[in-house]
Amino acid sequence: MPANIVIVGSFNTDLTAYTERMPRPGETVNGRKFVIGPGGKGSNQAVAAARLGAQVTFVGRVGQDVFGDLALRTWKEEGVNTDFVIRDPENVTGVAPIWVDDSGENSIIVVLGANLAVSRADVDAAARAIAQADVVLTQLEIDYDTVGYALKVAKEAGVRTILNPAPAGKVAPETLALADFMTPNETELEALTGKPGAPVEEAARSLLTAAGQTVVVTLGARGAQYVQRDGAALVPAYTVNVVDTTGAGDAFNGGLAVALAEGKDLKDAIAFANATAALCVTRPGTAPSMPRRDEVEALLAAAH
Ligand code: RIB
């Protein structure tokens, strides 16, 4: 049986300009290339999980516009179940203008549109699918109230939950307490804890308020550090040739969700997620750059 994952989250159309360097405020620079493609943290994580072999159900909203068509086409190609996706009649599909420089670094603006209309009722409509899932994964590109509600519905059904608190924002403690796993990067960790400059382990530990919780802090090229009540460790990254870091966090979360749903232990699950992220950054784009299962297995095997 493949891992069964429900993602309550966002879709954005990524409008990506590749440039030698980022423009400074008020400056115009020449771009090398422009690409329109499927993105959004929730959808990227769904594509990653599907390519890794999971059965994935997406709960979200897109507009009745060409970008919404792109979302549906993408999910169909990737085998993602869209039974609980709504074509919102009032809001446009989310978009994300992105800049990527020659070092692979990115800057993103999200205009969330229909994503912000994903509601408690949308989650209720998917309650049966959620109850049957091995893992429910959500992020912060939809309304925060809906994020908390999705985690609550999953927890009440005894389903493991992952909150990827991205992009950075301040989340209610009651919502954080519903996440079995929290997966911030360092910027998001600071936003959650309000402790700029605090050591990663100390800041992550301050988020542990409920029994059995784990914080996994993604540290880019260094790997990921997990922190639990009674332990912490760094799981190192894989060294690769970086082309475009956009979507690396999404690859990590898709990989982590699949590995945990398959019953891997925590260190192996994080290594699997690190390998998924490593392969993602070797290619341009977000959803299109997600690796397939055999590529991840090959990287893990080569590293041993
Ligand atoms: O994490 C990368 C994603 O962030 C992009 O696909 C963009 O749409 C924004 O949501």
What is the per-residue pLDDT across 23-40, written as a single tens digit (0 to 9) for each?
999 999 999 999 999 999
pTM: 0.97
298 CA from centroid of ligand 1 (Å): 26
Half-sphere exposure (Cβ direction) of 113: Cα atoms closer than 13 Å: 26
- State how far the Cα of 54 lies from the Cα of 49, in Å rounded to an integer: 6
Substitution candidate for ligand 1 out of 10, 41, 280 with most atoms within 8 A of CB = 41
Atom of ligand 1 nearest to the CA of 106: 2
Atom of ligand 1 nearest to the CA of 250: 1
Contact 98, 246 (CB under 8 A): yes
Whole-number pLDDT of residue 195: 86
179 CA from centroid of ligand 1 (Å): 22
Atom of ligand 1 nearest to the CA of 44: 6
Q: Hey, what are 233's tokens?
A: 């460790």
Atom of ligand 1 nearest to the CA of 95: 8
Q: What are residue 234's phi and psi, to 5 degrees?
A: -95, 130
Contact 16, 246 (CB under 8 A): yes
Q: Considering the candidates 88, 101, 244, 250, report the single residue annotated as catalytic.
A: 250
Amino acid at 179: A
Distance set, CA 168 to CA 173, 184, 187, 193 (Å): 15, 8, 7, 11
Nearest to 279, CA basis, from 288, 167, 58:
288
230 CA from centroid of ligand 1 (Å): 33
* Residues contacting 247, CB < 8 A, separation 6+: 39, 44, 280, 285, 286, 287, 289, 290
Task: Establish whether 250 is a catalytic residue.
Answer: yes
Q: Which domains does the chain have, with CATH numbers?
A: 4-21+32-303 (3.40.1190.20)
Pocket of ligand 1 (CB under 6 A): 12, 14, 39-41, 44, 96, 108, 110, 141, 246-247, 249-250, 286
287 CA from centroid of ligand 1 (Å): 9
pLDDT below 70 — which residues of the chain?
Answer: none
